[in-house]
Amino acid sequence: MKLKWSKRRSAWSAVGGAVLTAGLVLANPVLAQEALATSESGQVVHLNASAVREVPQDWLTMQLAVTREGADPGQVQAQIRAALDASLEAARAKAKPQSMEVRTGQFALHPRYGNNGRITGWQGQAELVLEGRDFGLISRTAASLAPLVVSGSSFSLSRQARQQLESDVQREAITQFRGKADDIAKAFGFAGYSLRQVSVSSVDGGHGQPRPVMMMARAEKAMEADAAVPVEAGKATVQVTVSGSINLR
């Protein structure tokens, strides 16, 4: 008899525990949601959507260089500094915020060696950098800063333009993702969906590649002092991809 009573108590305990667990799930919304998510785990769809936009590059960076050679490194450095200071003062007089900004670039002084391995002289170079949105002002200023010559140029998106473009493309990609998720849910006969996991990634092609420009040699008189250096901007591309998974419901 004691053995039968023990088995009966175990059976009632098991039933009571099941009722209690069910009551906790119904009374606790968090547990209920977890149970629902578990039940929907078999109806998961993975998808992605991308948006791409191309805009003209609005920022020009132009490097100008001055090179000097001589037997004495101090004299070479002094000559470079005199040429750079004069050009820097002239460029600053035309500078405007965002339109054309002026800064110094790299400076280098290297020895030159003969066949016997001994130093035969010194060569130095310094850079002046013009950058901004006003391509015409930058190119005209660069042409007027003799004895400096244009050593390179590149185009890109300004910080403000890049941030605005990425924000616009991101909104477009998210809208496409949501629209695709709605279409998939309806196509499978579900009323809607819930986000399970999502990630956003972007590819910024906004940094322009260096483009060839006309080099200004001091000995050449084909260009007038105030003639503009020919430049032409390209385009920048930003792509945003939204990837994730949804639960159909």
For residue 51, the cross-strand partners are 240
> How much is the pLDDT for 124?
96
> How much is the pLDDT for 225?
46
> How much is the pLDDT for 222?
35
> How much is the pLDDT for 203?
86
Which 3-state string (H, E, C) describes the chain? CHHHHHHHHHHHHHHHHHHHHHHHHHHCHHHHHHHHHHHHCCCEEEEEEEEEEEEECCEEEEEEEEEEEECCHHHHHHHHHHHHHHHHHHHHHHCECCCEEEEEEEEEEEEEECCCCCEEEEEEEEEEEEEECCHHHHHHHHHHCCCCEEEEEEEECCHHHHHHHHHHHHHHHHHHHHHHHHHHHHHCCCCCEEEEEEEEEEEEECECCCCCCCCCCCCCCCCCCCCCCCCCCCEEEEEEEEEEEEEEC
Instruction: Spell out the residues 6+ positions from residue 88 whose beta carbon is closer than 8 angstroms to its own.
Output: 102, 104, 128
**C-beta of residue 139 within 8 angstroms of C-beta of residue 150:** no
> How much is the pLDDT for 147?
92
> How much is the pLDDT for 12?
38
What is the full per-residue pLDDT of the chain (249 aa) written as tens digits? 444 444 444 443 443 443 333 333 334 444 334 334 444 455 899 999 999 999 999 999 999 999 999 999 999 999 999 999 999 999 999 999 999 999 999 999 999 999 999 999 999 999 999 999 999 999 999 999 989 999 999 999 999 999 999 999 999 999 999 999 999 999 999 999 999 999 999 887 644 444 444 433 333 333 444 566 777 788 999 999 999 999 998
**Whether residue 147 has a cis bond before it, omega within 30° of 0:** yes
